[in-house]
Structure 1
């Protein structure tokens, strides 16, 4: 069987995260110092596509630890909120792995025109975004020639999480403890990948029998579920929804039938909520597949389970569970006889979303 680059990149993600956290520490501290000198009173996190879901995965941590109000805004819609959220007292963090997304660059330009503190998070130091920003945090995933990004989603998310903890009150002891856990996430992610991959690969015949997917989670895993909707669809073309666990429970669950698979990203904190959801989805005869730490009892409501090492931090959970999302997208695409590195729609999409005359960094000649 052909092994595509996408799978290699998933396995490289923990090391890429480790490099990114280490190499950006002084730059992150400089951002925090500048924000305090300016008297920043609000924060905006902005991106499009998977960069937007990276912001959503970091949002719960910002809300937990950062004393300033934080808004996550899709860069394509930043104009709707600029008057309220982008001022000369704003910290505006824009995210684009390629650094070539026009809407993200435009959001940064508006921020700097208004006197805000603009910060670019990108994997390409010579990109338009990095060139347009006075402050940049460069992620260290290295080349990623696939269209569905994996390790760069991890590094962008990890960078935002580190920034959120750096902005916490210095007396916040929980933030200090969570920082230690964040720095250990590369090891935890490696363990998750090793545990999840063989279980998922074995289940692919059952998974691939379904036509539609709904991925759910809580905390930062809600953002991971939304990222799953992007990744599965752009690689395998299987229609996919991403929801919070409660969001699917409150109404949309009624649309499920045997064509659907529910992929539940489960934490100890949302065990009872997940049980409620799976009771309903089972009644509608959807296929329930739950990813959860070993030892959690789902009371037989999941048709299949993928067991992970113990983990119970809802604010960093997305980093641990992203491999479950990315590996599902990869193996399902391969099962369908498709190339996950370069989906057939790739060139048409890139032509539509890139600024005139620009290319994805890895596609430049």
Structure 2
């Protein structure tokens, strides 16, 4: 970054020759000259520095309001219609879609699980979410009317790339959500939406995750608009809700000192459980993954309704249980059920850590530790409820003396199957 922002996209099996006077020549293995596409990197060198933070992860957590805002930037056209980056599919091809697969790995898989709720709600198209490494091996039913949405921060995740190629072989349409301009997955897709989150240096994904969720929402709204299910003013109203998310995340970040203190007190825990319902369930999975990645603590995320189907057996005296509580303003019966789950684990000696929206008084008697988040529409709640879990995992790992940015055995981009 100290020398240039200009780059060239390279295809498979291409050779680059750089010469002091003749410049750059790109050929294939047989010597045929290729014309690679040029692009500019849209972040500066300062974006790849810690900027005074102890860890890149802390810096990237703090950058999340801006990352969300950048993902949303320029998405509404002059007449209120939604605009994506590169869509090489016609409106008619998008109208013909009758099934969607979301395919990804790790944290991106959790973004896909959240996306399922929104996309199905807004488009009424059935959505399946699959781990990329399993996708092509089970012989999924794909055809020309299937849209496969692949999500990858790096655009080079090998499992996701191979799933993409399998989908293309079956004549399915592929749309990529990616953070890396010029990477392989966007190049091989029929359409791409870049998250524009900037560089993410820490191995454990934070701002890329939240921007992927927002990007998935944009895809769902775009499909609803193209298919005539939602009018432009309805889309614009939801986009306005999305545009309020950076401020909501910033508000959450101002109250993280108590979460960090809580994290230090949990550093000796042998296991931590996470419970969530509806869109809170993938958030619970993500919270558990972050803890496993960074602090090497056994952690599991469960659908709260499954508690009595087995998981409650592992709750013991002092077991920390993190509960993501849905809003009492919508799906009220689900809210009541989750409050009941908190009572159940607390009665068995659990140490309850409750994440609930402002104004939710029903949880107060049952929360040993209460973390408040701003009110948001139900489908957008994961964007704010995830943030305390990121900070919690980071603080627990730091207290245990581990490298937060480079956890053992992990790499930022998994480029082998």
Name 2:390's counterpart in structure 1: 326
Asked if residue 188 in structure 1 is aligned to residue 244 in structure 2, the reply is no
Residues in 2 aligned to 1:29 and 1:124: alpha-carbon distance in whole angstroms: 14
On the 8 A contact 1:236/1:329 being kept in 2, the answer is yes
After the TM superposition, which residues 115-264 of structure 1 pair with which residues of structure 2 at under 5 Å, given as runs? Answer: 115-168=171-224, 169-171=229-231, 177-195=237-255, 197-264=256-323
| Selected match of 1:306 from 371, 374, 378 | 371
Asked if residue 268 in structure 1 is aligned to residue 327 in structure 2, the reply is yes
| Selected match of 1:63 from 100, 115, 120 | 120
Once the 2 structures are TM-superposed, how far is the Cα of residue 82 of structure 1 from its aligned partner? 4.4
Residues in 1 aligned to 2:94 and 2:53: alpha-carbon distance in whole angstroms: 53
Once the 2 structures are TM-superposed, how far is the Cα of residue 16 of structure 1 from its aligned partner? 0.8
Summarize the Cα distance change of 1:115–1:205 in structure 2 as closer, same or farther, 3 Å threshold: closer
Secondary structure class of the residue paired with 2:284: helix
On the 8 A contact 2:87/2:191 being kept in 1, the answer is no
Name 1:17's counterpart in structure 2: 68
| Selected match of 1:315 from 379, 402, 406 | 379
Summarize the Cα distance change of 1:176–1:67 in structure 2 as closer, same or farther, 3 Å threshold: farther
Residues in 2 aligned to 1:142 and 1:148: alpha-carbon distance in whole angstroms: 15
Deviations 1:45-87 (A, max 9, x none): 1101111111011111112111211111111111255442x21
Residues in 2 aligned to 1:111 and 1:34: alpha-carbon distance in whole angstroms: 20
On the 8 A contact 2:264/2:395 being kept in 1, the answer is no
Residues in 1 aligned to 2:264 and 2:231: alpha-carbon distance in whole angstroms: 51
Once the 2 structures are TM-superposed, how far is the Cα of residue 249 of structure 1 from its aligned partner? 4.1
* Bigger fraction of residues in helix: 1
Larger radius of gyration: 2
Asked if residue 342 in structure 1 is aligned to residue 402 in structure 2, the reply is no
Residues in 2 aligned to 1:201 and 1:93: alpha-carbon distance in whole angstroms: 35
Once the 2 structures are TM-superposed, how far is the Cα of residue 174 of structure 1 from its aligned partner? 6.4
On the 8 A contact 2:156/2:184 being kept in 1, the answer is yes
On the 8 A contact 2:264/2:396 being kept in 1, the answer is no
Deviations 1:206-253 (A, max 9, x none): 323422111122222211111112111101111111112212244311
Identify the structure with bigger relative contact order (alpha carbons < 8 Å, sequence gap 6+): 1
Name 1:359's counterpart in structure 2: none
Residues in 2 aligned to 1:267 and 1:173: alpha-carbon distance in whole angstroms: 27
Name 1:293's counterpart in structure 2: 357
Asked if residue 6 in structure 1 is aligned to residue 57 in structure 2, the reply is yes
Where do 5+ consecutive residues of structure 1 fail to align?
A: 357-365
Name 1:72's counterpart in structure 2: 129
**Of 20-29 and 45-54, the range deviating more from structure 2:** 20-29
| Selected match of 2:106 from 49, 59, 65 | 49
Residues in 2 aligned to 1:181 and 1:79: alpha-carbon distance in whole angstroms: 36
After the TM superposition, which residues 92-103 of structure 1 pair with which residues of structure 2 at under 5 Å, given as runs? Answer: 92-103=148-159
Residues in 1 aligned to 2:53 and 2:87: alpha-carbon distance in whole angstroms: 44
Secondary structure class of the residue paired with 2:120: helix
Residues in 2 aligned to 1:329 and 1:305: alpha-carbon distance in whole angstroms: 16
Where do 5+ consecutive residues of structure 2 fail to align?
A: 1-51, 76-81, 329-333
Once the 2 structures are TM-superposed, how far is the Cα of residue 299 of structure 1 from its aligned partner? 4.7
On the 8 A contact 2:263/2:393 being kept in 1, the answer is no
Secondary structure class of the residue paired with 1:115: coil
Residues in 2 aligned to 1:258 and 1:176: alpha-carbon distance in whole angstroms: 49
